[in-house]
Amino acid sequence: MTSRHAIRALTAGAVLLALYPAVRPWGDMTVDGAGTAFASVAWPLAHLAAVAGFALVAVGLLGLRDALSDGPGAGAARGALGTWWLGTALVLPYYGAEAFALHTLGTRGDVDPALVEAIRMGAIQVTVFGAGLAAFAVAGVLAAVAVLRSGVLPRWGGAVFAAGFALYLPQFFAAPELRIAHGVLVAAGCVLLAAAVAAYAPPGTRSRRVTSARAASSSSGG
């Protein structure tokens, strides 16, 4: 995994995770508006943007792990990657139900509030989804620890990424405006993490470059 690929993945993920709450129809906040929101083509597209965003962040964390493989923060970076993949596997089924099952109900004009509640709030669904979001929170903290130990960014840099995903669960209970603002926070954290991957040089790289430069100079001068 090259740092260039990781940077691109994190940047694209930032855009998609910010678009998710911005594009998502919010009519489902009321019983009367739920059918229109679910039927909108923006409904599945917004949720699929989040799905793609989560996968792209995983690619970015893979780049972070590789960048820190021989340096400080390597263990935390590996933990962040593994925990993130676990979280992704746990949240994607819920997003699939939101994107496809609820959209189908909306397009059929058969939005039964009790059925919507059962799809969203069943014990198994909520438990798996909650566990996935908790894994995201842990992964965010581990990524922040890895960035901090690398010495690339100031402490608040990794903290933005950690805060964005630590708040992913509670933000579901917030008003649409706050959820959109949270999407911006998550995007900022992803961009800062991309900056960390771009800036970090594993230990020894600089010394090797100096040695190579000196060898080249001696060769040309001799």
* Segment 20-31 mean pLDDT: 96
pLDDT of res. 137:
98
Torsion of CA 11, 13, 18, 21, to 10 degrees: 170
pLDDT of res. 218:
46
pLDDT-derived band of residue 201, with 50, 70 and 90 as boundaries?
low
**What separation, in Å, do the N-terminal and C-terminal C-alpha atoms of the chain show?**
39
Residue 14 is encoded by which pair of tokens?
């930032």
pLDDT of res. 92:
97
Of 3-7, 150-154, 215-219, give the lowest mean pLDDT range: 215-219
Residue 115 pLDDT > 60? yes
pLDDT, tens only, 48-88: 999 999 999 999 999 999 988 877 889 999 999 999 999 99
Q: Of all residues in the chain, what percent carry a pLDDT higher than 90?
A: 73
Domain that holds residue 166: 3-221
Domain count, the chain: 1
Residue 138 pLDDT > 60? yes
One-letter amino acid for residue 52 of the chain: A
Of 25-29, 109-113, 167-171, 177-181, give the lowest mean pLDDT range: 109-113
- Concatenate the DSSP letters of all residues of the chain into one string: --HHHHHHHHHHHHHHHHHHHHHS--GGGSHHHHHHHHHSTHHHHHHHHHHHHHHHHHHHHHHHHHHTTTSTTHHHHHHHHHHHHHHHHHHHHHHHIIIIIHHHHHHHT---HHHHHHHHH-HHHHHHHHHHHHHHHHHHHHHHHHHHHHTSS-HHHHHHHHHHHHTTTGGGGS-HHHHHHHHHHHHHHHHHHHHHHHH---TTHHHHHHHHHHHHHHHHH-
pTM of the model: 0.87
pLDDT of res. 214:
39
pLDDT of res. 154:
63
How far is 66 from 52, CA to CA, in rounded Å? Answer: 22
pLDDT of res. 2:
73
